Structure 1
Amino acid sequence: MSRPSPAREVPEAAASRPSPGGEVPEAAASQPSPGGATPDAAAPKTAAPAAPCRIVVCRDCCCGSPKVTGVDHAAQAARLRTGAPVRVSTCLDVCDQANVVVVQPSAAGRAAGGRPVWLGLVNDPGATEDILTWVRAGGPGLAPPPEILGLYAFTPPRRRPAALREGS
């Protein structure tokens, strides 16, 4: 009796598991599923899409309020959502920079050394479009920002607990 080859000794359940890259091994792709159907051989085998950049918009006491005139805050957030997930935050404690937008890198951008970029005074549609252009190109760590965004970028102050701010 000859011993079966190692490839045939893999249990059926293990053979049909996706690899770490998200692909199903070739042998499993042609096996019938438990319901009896054979997977379509022409179906693409792709990994899950990478997480995109994320955008945080401050919308509290100053940002996103009537204190910043001439800006359609809801339209700005909606426009940013066309390029990346947007999270609305309470006050980020940089009211002198209203409207504040923080562009957070994607997982790939973070792995490449990208860090969150804080943008202040984002009060015109042109700045919003520049942010979208950058995010769609990959954002922090993956694509250089349009030069004009350098005028909006700032380093936020270190955040201190409220008890320390009140006591100083």
Structure 2
Amino acid sequence: MSRLTVCRDCCCGSTRKVPALDHDEQLRRLSEIAQVRVSDCLDVCEQANVVVVRPSPAGRAAGGRAVWLGLLNQPDAVEDIAAWIRAGGPGLAPIPDILALHVFTKSRSQGRPPR
């Protein structure tokens, strides 16, 4: 099963930054589709809300790597992530076009990625 790291700190998960989204509901729904680890700030506040999709063991064996998704500020984003995970996720299924719009690369100067 894929694992998710969900940023929740100063910007991600904040109604100050993204007032129109029910952040608690987003986290609850993500927890229904994968194992979720909630992280303090991942140092990419300009991308809030951020979710890192980690490959399943089979996905990792097939060459899958963590995929950083940012600006996940629409309720439907959870359904897009769920569909990708059901299809296999990183390494086993191509990322859906709609999620590809949210992919970003975290620079090394922004800190270490989650494990």
Q: TM-score, normalised by structure 2?
A: 0.91
The question of 1:61 aligning with 2:61 is answered no
Deviation string, structure 1 residues 85-144 (Cα, Å, up to 9, x no partner):
111000000000000000000011000000000000000012111011101111000111
Pick aligned residue for 2:93 from 136, 139, 143: 143
Amino acid at match of 2:51: V
Aligned length: 110
The question of 1:110 aligning with 2:45 is answered no
Q: Specify the SS of the correspondent of 1:56.
A: strand
Gaps in structure 1 of 5+ consecutive residues? 1-51, 162-168
Q: Structure 2 vs 1, CA of residues 70 and 141 (structure 1 numbering), >3 Å: closer, same or farther?
A: same
Q: 2:106 & 2:19 partners in 1: Cα distance?
A: 23
Q: 2:54 & 2:18 partners in 1: Cα distance?
A: 24
Q: 2:32 & 2:51 partners in 1: Cα distance?
A: 15
Following TM superposition, the consecutive aligned residue runs of length 4 or more in structure 1 with deviations greater than 3 angstroms are none
The within-5 A match list for 1:81-92 is: 81-92=31-42
- When Rg is computed on C-alpha atoms for both structures, the one with the higher figure is 1
Q: 1:80 & 1:129 partners in 2: Cα distance?
A: 9
Greater fraction of residues in strand? 2
Q: 1:63 & 1:73 partners in 2: Cα distance?
A: 9
Q: 2:45 & 2:9 partners in 1: Cα distance?
A: 9
The question of 1:72 aligning with 2:12 is answered no
Q: 1:160 & 1:153 partners in 2: Cα distance?
A: 16
* Match in the other structure for 2:81: 131
Aligned-residue CA RMSD in angstroms? Answer: 1.1
Q: 2:110 & 2:62 partners in 1: Cα distance?
A: 29
* Match in the other structure for 1:36: none
Question: Relative CO higher for 1 or 2, CA cutoff 8 Å, sep ≥ 6?
Answer: 2
